[in-house]
Chain A
Amino acid sequence: MSNAKTVRLFAAAALAAVLTTPAFAGGPLQVASKVLTEKKAAAADGTTRVTLVPTKKVVPGDKVVFVLDYHNTGAQPLANVVLDNPVPQELAYRSAAQGSPTPEVSVDGKTYGELGALHVRTASGGLRPASLDDVTSVRWRLASPITAGAHGQLAFQAVLK
């Protein structure tokens, strides 16, 4: 009974996701968001191989990787590209994903920079250095334009609270 209800709910969410895609089909820059989880498997040589797989099973404490896939579908280079990704509040930002440039981070959604330069206001009115758990948004500013037809990926890791 409860399962049936849940399924219906998710089906609706999936539909919504599908429907939003055509809305930015017109722009030359297509950005797809993906969420992946780590899957550990024993390899034949005795080591543990960690691969990223589409998220099926995520429970509190698990690490997830949010990936932004961008693709310049237009004929013109795209300059000054800024990708701003608010971190869902149920997740704690941990780092850039392996192979991805490090994003600037923000603890208030306004000021971005390196984590060490950021501060959080405490209950007593003072300031304390920001920690990873305080990060609310990450932002990438691409240094060079995305040439026509170019692809790229940006990704960060977070832990489900």
Chain B
Amino acid sequence: MIPPDPSTTNTNTNTNTNSFRELSPMFVNKVRLLLLSGTAVIASTGTAHAAQTAAGTTISNTAQVTYTVNGQQTTTNSTTSTFVVDRKVNFTLVTDQTTSTKVNVGQIGAVTSYKLTNTTNGTQDFLFDTAQAVPLGILPGTPDFTLGNIKVYVDTNNNNVYDPGTDTATYVDELAPDASIEVFIVGDVPATGTSNLAQVALHATVAAGDPNGVKGTKGAALIATDLNLANADNFVDIVFADGDSDGTAYLGDIGRNGQAIAYAAYEAGARNVALTVTKTARVISDDVNLLVFPKALPGATVEYCLTVNNATLGVNATNVVLSDVVPTATTYVPGTLTIGLPGVLGTTCTLSTLGSTTGFTGAFDASSKTVTATIPTVVGGGSVAASFRVTIN
């Protein structure tokens, strides 16, 4: 802000030279010299950024003047010119994880992490919202699911880890200049359907901090000051100086809009599934009772049934290899290995047989007395069974 001064009109520096016509050439040389060295210093200090002058600071300038008139020394002051430092809004929002978050189907509260840094010359609030439509090309892959119950939480306890129930704030409250804070997107992975990849965008908007720095109130989103308005110089003007957070190739964010966007992905892919194997035995027949209520007598035929269950919904287990050593005092019955979908419990172990179009393969190694069954795929939530028969010696 300028104190009233009728002589202050739009002044072009070039027109000021009239005032210095009596300058000696030496003065002019010095001016040029200083300008040159000044430029050099600006360039070298540009990277090492000291703390910025806070928005709202009033800067005053007064010169002291001494002179002699009729041999008598007099002292006076110039008028005081003042201006108010305006708010240079700048901040960064980056994805604070190098890989996609690995999730399980049906997982509740899957987290992606982001870091927000305030480089404004003042304390600011920041507001958030999310999107699950990421511009093509920013992240690899094609998303095939969206998160449910998606929320944004701020790392209230500053440990860079999402703590459910503790990190409950949904906006950043009073972030000091040059301070950083972690922000999380938390969402649920659907339990049904194909769920391999989800992409999310965190959108941050700068908001007003409390004038007294008191926490607890969510500020309103800032709006850059229109300097064409009258009396704009009487305010702490708001100047957006933030960069284009996703680059000029993408229109998600643009520079100097007081907003930023960061992207991350949730991936349900190469990882462990909950695979379990259960083994049951059933006597098929004996030499005395034949097939009617057979007992485990010497010479009886016993069927072993191995059932593999993949409890991870939506994710296939591939290349499952089952191997089982035939018990001592029993003899493998050649050609009895069957692999297929489970049959009726206690009655039929499998529904299909070896060598069908399912791609199942199996073998018996006589030297190690090991039965091996190879199952190309156990679908998420599904089971595959393998059975073979032995005779009791």
Contacts and interface: CB of A to CB of B under 8 A. Distances in A.
A binds B: yes
A32 B11 CA distance: 15
Contacts, number: 240
Given A2-B211, A57-B237, A152-B19, A88 B225 contact: no
B34 to A, nearest CB: 5
A133 interface: yes
A33 B74 contact: no
Contacts of A102: 27, 30-31, 34
Contacts of A52: 10-13
A31 B76 contact: yes
Given A7-B235, A27-B74, A14 B13 contact: no
A78 interface: yes
B365 interface: no
Contacts of B58: 9-10, 13
Interface residues of B, number: 77
Given A34-B8, A52-B12, A96-B34, A83 B121 contact: no
Contacts of B61: 33, 35, 66, 85, 88
Contacts of B82: 13, 17, 35
B45 interface: yes
A66 B82 CA distance: 10
Interface residues of A, number: 86
Interface stretch (B36-44, B260-268, B327-335): B36-44
A14 B57 CA distance: 15
Contacts of A146: 67
Q: Which residue among A9, A11, A17 has the maximum number of chain B CB atoms within 10 Å of its CB? A: A17
B22 A144 contact: yes
B7 interface: yes
Contacts of A6: 56, 235-236
Interface string A104-141: 00000000001100000000000000011100000000
Interface string A47-63: 00011111111111100
Contacts of A34: 2, 5, 8, 81
Interface in B215-272: 225, 227, 232-237, 239, 241
B67 A81 contact: yes
Contacts of B65: 29, 31, 70, 81-84
Given A78-B68, A90-B53, A91-B59, 12 more contacts: A3-B235, A34-B2, A59-B55, A79-B67, A82-B66, A84-B64, A90-B57, A94-B41, A95-B35, A96-B35, A153-B20, A160-B53
Interface of A: 1-3, 5-7, 9-11, 13-14, 16-18, 20-21, 23-24, 27-29, 31-36, 50-61, 64-70, 74, 76-86, 88, 90-91, 94-102, 114-115, 131-133, 143-144, 146, 151-153, 155, 157, 159-161
Interface of B: 1-5, 7-8, 10-14, 16-17, 19-20, 22-24, 27, 30-31, 34-35, 37-38, 41-42, 45, 50-53, 55-70, 73-74, 76-88, 121, 208, 211, 225, 227, 232-237, 239, 241
12 contacts: A10-B58, A17-B3, A31-B63, A33-B61, A55-B2, A55-B83, A66-B81, A70-B65, A85-B63, A100-B16, A102-B31, A102-B34
